[in-house]
Amino acid sequence: MTPPVQPSPRTLWAAWLLLWTLAAAGALRADDAQPPTPVGDALRPASAGHLEQLDRDLQRLTNHRRLLIVAAHPDDEDTTLLTWAARAVGGEAAYLSLSRGEGGQNLIGERLGVGLGLVRSRELEAARAIDGGHQFFSRAYDFGYTRSLDETFARWPRAVLLEDTVRIVRRFKPQVLVAIFPPDARAGHGQHIASAVIAEDAIAAAADPLFAPHLGAPWTVDAFYRAAWWRPTGATHAFSLGVLEPVSGRSILQLATDSRSQHRSQDMGLLQPLGTARGRLIDEAIADRAKPSLAPPDAAPRALPDPFDAVDGRLAAIADLLPADASPRAVVEARLEAVAARATRLRARLHPAGRDALVPELAALIADLDAARAAVAEADGAEMAGGFAHVRQLLDEKRIIAGRALASASGVALDAFTDVETVVPGASFGVRVELWNSGSHALDAPTITIVGASAGRADWTLDAIEDAKPPRGRFVAKVDHARQLTVTVPADAPATVPYFLRRGRLDDLYDWRGVDEDVLGAAFAPPPLRVRVATAIAGAPLTLEREVVMRQRDQAFGEVRRPLRVVPAFEVTLDPAQRVLPIDPDAEIAPTIAIRATVRANRADATAVQLRIGLPPAWRPLPPVMLAFNATQRTASHETIVAVPSAVLRAARTAPQRIEIAAAAIDPSGSAHDIALDVIDHPHIRTTAQPVPARGEIVLGAIVLPELREIAYVRGASDRVPEALRQIGVPLALRTAAQLEFDDLSRYDVIVIGSRAYEVDAALGAVTPRLLDWTRRGGRLIVQYQQYAFVNGEHAPYPLTIARPHDRITDETAALRPLVPDHAVFRQPNVIGPADWDGWVQERGLYFARTWDDAYRALLAGRDPDDDADKTGGLLVAAVGDGVYVYTGLAFFRQLPAGVVGAYRLFANLLALERDAVDP
């Protein structure tokens, strides 16, 4: 037998280079029709894939099980169920959170609102990376706690939530849908109730071909469950959390608690216990039938069916989605049976030293998947049945999984990185691509393309491909293929910001107009730039994809990677973003305000811009100014002093005035730039840029401050009260518990404890006895709302309790009435009247005291419209020796940063409260 002629190394090299060049010009191989396989986490050093991931991918190729959980907020999801479905069963699991949790609180920083929503969205991504699930959202913005379903649907229109949920049901195609909450008051939150109602609505709507046909073909859910902790004695289904994942060596429960612990902003850290446990669900189809308990919480475990018991979980069941008489149905079923059998055998043979031996059979497995896909594609045009779209999508998903398994078993690693973190529209920069085959199976000559996320704008361009220079450093390694690309950003590329923030909000909904349909509902849009490489292994076509990131060496930490971001040519910030200016009712001289605008030039060749600052018509207009830049000075600022017009001053003496200001930088082409990017950066989540418009607000109001030498402030969670107090002239020193332990406390007139500070500063409990002793000697101690650690630690001077769930007034417009109208808290130095309760945001207060010692005096009463009794524990004062103690659940942490003048006036009165004014 004559051996085949082997091409020379020079011939192979020439062919390989030609293919890369053709790809750069846009000529793609047929293999590029294959779904691209994402390779690894781009923010981690490149690898060929780990054994744990390979085991999971093989398991996912053995079955067809899909489960979707629906609830209202980040941290509402059942991570045990997600982890069980994804990592014990090997199915696909997902969580749809109606909101991003913007109305919650933040234990790891000061961001609230949109910024907190970004943090919590990224935390959900980090959780899903551990439990193996997918993450989706509706467009709802969390407006804060409410008991009312009616209020929820007034602010989150039911039709909008239903459309967003059906979009995800049809896209993700769950066989099992799980609602976390019951559709009634037991859910404890109007938004929780709404998620339960919408989950059930969506099952019928998703199956209705007449409902929103633009969202895709109808999809029928096979089973609907609800979390059983609302009625544990009625559980109908169970799933084991004591299953040990063989490769990771951790149980499903351990993995689930690790996932849960990613919600760091919500104080959700958990231990990872050993041992067995199980979760429970209620089948809603039989939940209301009168029958004895199936699974009492304290009973011995019973053999309840698992949540997929009503589902045909065979991989070949995907073929059943095709019409019974569809010509490719038998082919698809046979091919998928072969895939599942092969994946089962390969998983049983998996061991660290034998991955390479799996490659031929994985290639054969891929051939079966490709044959099934080809059969569907060939018949689709002629038959055009709704099931064809579902089958194509599910086969593509399995093909991606199989491609990743093949790359991992083959030892193929792809990397793509640059040495810059930010790029501007129109700029060119270099990207290094490395493809390494560490295994024994040869790769076909690869081609390369780039994929840019341009949101409908011009595509990114690949200008050149060159031989990459050898790397420098202590360790120099050679890879099989290394190329240096030159890439140009589209001239009209938008800044890399979350897709749901491009247009802001329409009331309590994010504005999704103009966003691609396939992005809607995703946690975030795809990264701005990816590299795609097409090749083949053992005859199996393979398309690999890798996000382009910035890579650099840190001498302390080693390799550091950060996401590549497009930034505007110029960023503009305005100070004040908000300024509260106290107006002395008796002052005759108009106060002045310093306005400072700063422009950052991100374009390397920028030399100058024109800065414009806009004021309302009643104010004297400000002329534009030119700001210059050079090679070393990339930021420039301009400060101007403006006087408050007399008419505005007169109005502010009787009612608060809000004055809007704005700034913009006009570049030489005439384009206006009016945002800056606030980068959110925490070690446990991906870096994210929040767009901040260059707009500001000046709030003028009649606020009289007491005479104070100095107050000490212990910052709490997401607490911007110190900055708010400083800007109105309060002499404030930020202190920690450790500092207060050794401070000369006699220097302070008042000590203020921020909201949830007893959770944020663990040493605060230990120093509290010293603070109370200082109070007895004549000090004023103000404690803003705390949670149960405060009560359990008995840190108040006299007993008080906080109920579970806690008392609160969630309606920010709810009427509040003084219980002691002539008390100094409402009289000195500011007279508090009905107007001071106007303009409050999100809520009146939370974590009110439920019971308290007779030494306290309750000063306020109010209730939500749907509440049946007044809440009176929101503002308590007590005499402690010669001093004054205040506990307040009023939400000053929201009101003061929002510029609510009435809240400032009331807080100033608390700072002024004297001992002789406390007693009845």
In tens, the pLDDT along 692-738 reads 999 999 999 999 999 999 999 999 998 999 999 999 999 999 999 99
Model confidence pLDDT, tens digit, residues 410-432: 999 999 999 999 999 999 999 99
Which amino acid is it at 576? P
Q: Encoding tokens for residue 527?
A: 């990264």
Q: Give, to the nearest 10 degrees, the angle between helix 386-410 and helix 359-383.
A: 160
Instruction: Say whether pLDDT at 561 is over 90.
Output: yes
Model confidence pLDDT, tens digit, residues 512-544: 999 999 999 999 999 999 999 999 999 999 999
Count, residues in the chain: 920
Give the SS3 label for residue 748: coil
What CA–CA distance (Å, rounded) separates 911 from 263? 35
What CA–CA distance (Å, rounded) separates 404 from 485? 24
Provide the terminal-to-terminal Cα distance of the chain, rounded to the nearest Å: 110
With 0-12 CB in 10 A as exposed, 13-18 as middle and 19+ as buried, what is 287?
middle
Averaged pLDDT for residues 58-77: 97
The C-alpha R_g of the chain, in whole angstroms, comes to 31
Averaged pLDDT for residues 58-74: 97
Average predicted confidence (pLDDT) for the chain: 90
**pTM reported for the whole predicted model:** 0.90
How many beta carbons lie within 10 A of that of residue 271, not counting itself? 8
Q: Encoding tokens for residue 501?
A: 């923030």
pLDDT at site 509: 97
For residues 242 and 256, is the Cβ–Cβ distance under 8 A? Answer: no
Averaged pLDDT for residues 836-864: 96
Q: Encoding tokens for residue 409?
A: 């078993």
Give 470's pLDDT tier (boundaries 50, 70, 90).
Answer: confident
Model confidence pLDDT, tens digit, residues 477-511: 778 888 999 999 999 999 999 999 999 899 999 99
What CA–CA distance (Å, rounded) separates 587 from 230? 60
Q: How many Cα atoms within 13 Å fall on the side-chain side of residue 170? A: 27
DSSP 316: G
DSSP 417: E
With 0-12 CB in 10 A as exposed, 13-18 as middle and 19+ as buried, what is 555?
exposed
What CA–CA distance (Å, rounded) separates 65 from 398? 12
Model confidence pLDDT, tens digit, residues 869-915: 999 999 999 999 999 999 999 999 999 999 999 999 999 999 999 99
For residues 26 and 531, is the Cβ–Cβ distance under 8 A? Answer: no
Give 301's pLDDT tier (boundaries 50, 70, 90).
Answer: very low
For residues 676 and 571, is the Cβ–Cβ distance under 8 A? Answer: yes
Instruction: Say whether pLDDT at 395 is over 80.
Output: yes
What CA–CA distance (Å, rounded) separates 420 from 145? 42
Q: C-alpha dihedral over 857, 860, 866, 869, to 10 degrees?
A: 30
Averaged pLDDT for residues 178-196: 95
Triad 378, 384, 385: Cα angle to 5°: 115
What CA–CA distance (Å, rounded) separates 79 from 132? 10
Helices assigned H by DSSP within 61-113: 79-83
Triad 338, 343, 344: Cα angle to 5°: 100
Helices assigned H by DSSP within 210-328: 252-260
Which amino acid is it at 58? L
Consecutive H or E run containing 880: strand 875-880
Question: Given the structure tokens 């351990």, which residue do they identify?
Answer: 254
